[in-house]
Amino acid sequence: MSKSARSLFVFSIYLFVLGMILLVIPNVLLTLFGLPKTNEVWIRVVGMLVFILGFYYFSASKNEIKSFLQWTVYARTSVLFFFVVFVLLGFAPAILILFGAIDAGAALWTHLSLRSEKI
């Protein structure tokens, strides 16, 4: 497995775990980060979507789909941007930026790995 594929593989594991937590025990995570508990279905819908993204990322990493790996760099970097905007607009607490930073950091890892593999 290439370095770039490994970076996305590791990120897919993070998404699988986060997705399962949001599906099964969302209030544990929400409480841990100081967010209000909810009984709404939407947090579980987000968990399902995160889990499915994990599946795409896992599959792309295992199949070394370089174009997909590159696309995820753009998408994962944008998460930080959106989360910062949500916080600045008062839609979300600042802790949300931590999740965006994880996405951006992982995207940077993939980007640097892809760049080193072009040599």
The per-residue pLDDT for range 5-44, each reduced to its tens digit, is 999 999 999 999 999 999 999 999 999 988 899 999 999 9
CA distance 21 to 105: 21
Query: Does residue 119 register a pLDDT over 80?
Result: no
Given this model, what pLDDT does residue 104 score? 97
The domain spans of the chain are 3-117
Residue 50, C-beta contacts closer than 8 angstroms, at least 6 positions apart = 15, 18, 19, 22
Q: Output the DSSP codes for 102-115.
A: HHHHHHHHHHHHHH
CA distance 23 to 54: 14
| pTM confidence score | 0.91
Q: Is 35 left (phi over 0), alpha (psi -120 to 50) or beta?
A: beta
| Selected residue with higher pLDDT from 33 and 51 | 51
Q: Is 90 left (phi over 0), alpha (psi -120 to 50) or beta?
A: left
Residues 68-108: pLDDT tens digits? 999 999 999 999 999 999 999 999 999 999 999 999 999 99
